[in-house]
């Protein structure tokens, strides 16, 4: 029986040793799997963090681009407003100088000179001179011509119309003023890029 007990003891010992080996292998395998899963989780967490950071960076970059664009538009608008004020100031001065010229004796002579120039240009045709309502006081000084008032002439000067030929010779300050203002505004120095 003693022999049986020893055999049984050895069998028990062998089973325990085998169980211990199996437990060790299972534990090592579980540790490896845990390490692999932890490494994978770290990679996934880092990837998620990177993608969130990239998304945040893109969102922030897009916001910054919008803000910069908005500031640039505002700056251009301010420059345009300031430029328009400067142009208005320059041409208010021009209007003032035209008013001074119209109030001088030279203006009546200038009107007569332009009327004669029109007459010499088309001597065989009779045109009608149009003046501003304010300038109708000079109609008697242009006695050789038919003179009429035209409300669209505000700054002064004269418009000679040859209806039979469909021609108009424009010596109005209004037209010259608008042409000069357009040319001045379109100068390269005043155009925004």
Please give the chain's pLDDT, 193 residues, in tens: 556 567 555 655 555 555 456 556 666 665 677 777 767 767 876 777 777 777 777 888 888 778 877 877 877 787 777 777 777 777 788 888 888 888 988 999 999 999 999 999 998 989 999 999 999 999 998 888 899 999 999 999 999 999 989 999 999 989 888 888 887 777 645 554 4
pTM over 0.85: no
Rounded Cα distance, 91 and 137, in Å: 26
Domain spans in the chain, listed from the N-terminal domain onward: 1-103, 105-190
Rounded Cα distance, 190 and 171, in Å: 27
Residue 164 CB partners (closer than 8 Å, separation 6+): 125
Q: Which helix (H) or strand (E) holds 153?
A: none
What are the C-alpha distances in Å from 54 to residues 7, 41, 42, 168, 186?
A: 69, 19, 18, 69, 46
What is the structure's pLDDT at 2? 59
Longest C-alpha distance within the chain, in Å? 161
Residue 157 pairs in a beta bridge with: 172
Structure tokens at 73: 């538009």
What is the structure's pLDDT at 70? 80
Q: Quick one: fold of 105-190?
A: hypothetical protein PF0899 fold (3.30.2320)
Q: What is the pLDDT of residues 13-43, one digit of tens each?
A: 555 555 456 556 666 665 677 777 767 767 8
Query: Helix, strand or coil for residue 193?
Result: coil
In this structure, is the dihedral angle defined by the CA atoms of residues 104, 109, 114 and 115, taken in order, positive or negative? positive
């Amino acid at each position: 029986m003693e022999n049986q007990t020893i055999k049984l003891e050895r069998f028990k010992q062998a089973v325990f040793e085998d169980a211990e080996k199996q437990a060790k292998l299972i534990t090592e395998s579980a540790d490896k799997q845990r390490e692999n899963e932890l490494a994978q989780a770290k990679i996934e967490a880092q990837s998620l963090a990177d993608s969130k950071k990239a998304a945040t960076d893109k969102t922030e970059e897009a916001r910054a681009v919008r803000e910069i664009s908005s500031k640039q538009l505002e700056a251009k608008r301010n420059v345009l407003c300031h430029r328009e004020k400067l142009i208005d100031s320059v041409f208010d001065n021009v209007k003032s100088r035209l008013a001074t010229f119209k109030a001088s004796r030279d203006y009546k002579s200038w009107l007569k000179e332009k009327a004669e120039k029109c007459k010499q240009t088309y001597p065989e045709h009779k045109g009608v001179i149009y003046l501003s309502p304010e300038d109708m006081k000079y109609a008697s000084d242009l006695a050789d011509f038919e003179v009429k008032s035209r409300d669209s002439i505000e700054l002064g000067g004269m418009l000679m119309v040859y209806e039979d030929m469909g021609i108009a010779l424009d010596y109005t300050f209004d037209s010259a003023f608008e042409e000069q203002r357009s040319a001045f505004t379109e100068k390269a120095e005043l155009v925004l890029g």
